[in-house]
Homo-oligomer: A and B are copies of this chain.
Amino acid sequence: MKKNKRVGMLMDELLQNPCRLYESKHFCEKYGIAKSSLSEDIKLINEILHDNGSGCIESIQGAGGGIRYIPGISAEKIRSLQNELIEVLSDTTRMLGGKYLYTSDIMFNGQFVNGIARIFAQKFHSLGADYVVTVETKGIGIAAQTAYMLGLPLVVIRREAKYSEGSTVSINYFSGTNEHIQKMSIAKRAVEPGRKAIIIDDFMRGGGSLKGIQDILGEFDVETVGIGVALESRLPEKKKVKDYTSVLIIDDIDEENHVISVRPNETLSE
């Protein structure tokens, strides 16, 4: 097999299995090549990914080592994604009243979801998490893609305990947004005690839902090591969670003058 074909086949396999650690042996045997040739191929793939702003191949030396694809996204691509998102979000027909915006189409748009998930995967891949967790419904697209890119299982917390979830644990929490008590429910067999989780959601206003997720995971002794949200509302300034990463910040939804003010989280592309 010629080198350019082999590099393409290698790249396709690595990219389809994000964060999966492959022993070098796997590819050396598959393609009948020496370790030095594989290293050259990986070097070339890294150049390709770097130039495309698509992440990198990580090489881990020694016993238990190997190579794996870490999805990523360049600062330039982040800025361009943020600008596209700002353009679609600024469409005032999205205003629903009461400072709500219609965003379902954005949260389930494959290209947006893919870009946002790459941002989170790049940010969170080294935290040693065991799960990605979200609460239904609108964050599931982004959370599922983030989990796939991190090679982790996705746990979806339900609003109501469903029979099909088996035994569940539920909590009530205070949602600042709606000023009322809400409920969430997690399958007992979804998580194991002592593990770590990354929480992903579509939107954060006061952080009540995210705090609820943290609390319900805490019931299982599962620690939250990272939080990512696509959209953050600037107000209220005081959030119920800290150390979160947002992609965009909504400064204001001015219903009287028909203006939606959204800006990028610029720290992402610095």
Contacts and interface: CB of A to CB of B under 8 A. Distances in A.
B153 A54 contact: no
Interface string A84-109: 00000000000010101111110011
A109 to B, nearest CB: 6
A42 to B, nearest CB: 12
Contact of A51 (B9, B114, B141): B9
A166 B102 contact: yes
A138 B102 CA distance: 22
B105 A153 contact: yes
Nearest to A202: B164
Contact of A190 (B105, B109, B155): B105
B108 A144 contact: yes
Given A5-B47, A141-B154, A148 B190 contact: no
A59 interface: no
Which of A15, A100, A110, A113 has the most chain B CB atoms closer than 10 A to its own CB? Answer: A110
Nearest to A189: B102
Interface residues of A, number: 58
A153 B8 contact: no
Nearest to A110: B148
Given A148-B110, A156-B104, A8 B7 contact: yes
B96 A166 contact: yes
Contacts of A114: 16, 148
Q: Is the interface of A mostly helix, strand, loop or mixed?
A: helix
Contacts of A123: none
A3 B4 contact: yes
Interface string A147-171: 1110111111010000111100000
A144 B113 contact: yes
A137 interface: yes
Contacts of A15: 12, 15
Given A4-B44, A104-B164, A110-B149, 17 more contacts: A4-B4, A5-B48, A8-B45, A101-B164, A102-B189, A104-B165, A105-B190, A108-B147, A108-B155, A110-B148, A110-B152, A110-B153, A136-B137, A137-B137, A141-B144, A141-B154, A144-B144
Interface of A: 3-5, 7-9, 11-13, 15-17, 44-45, 47-49, 51-52, 54, 96, 98, 100-105, 108-111, 113-114, 136-138, 140-141, 144-145, 147-149, 151-156, 158, 163-166, 187, 189-190
10 contacts: A5-B48, A7-B7, A8-B11, A102-B164, A102-B165, A102-B187, A102-B189, A104-B164, A137-B158, A145-B145
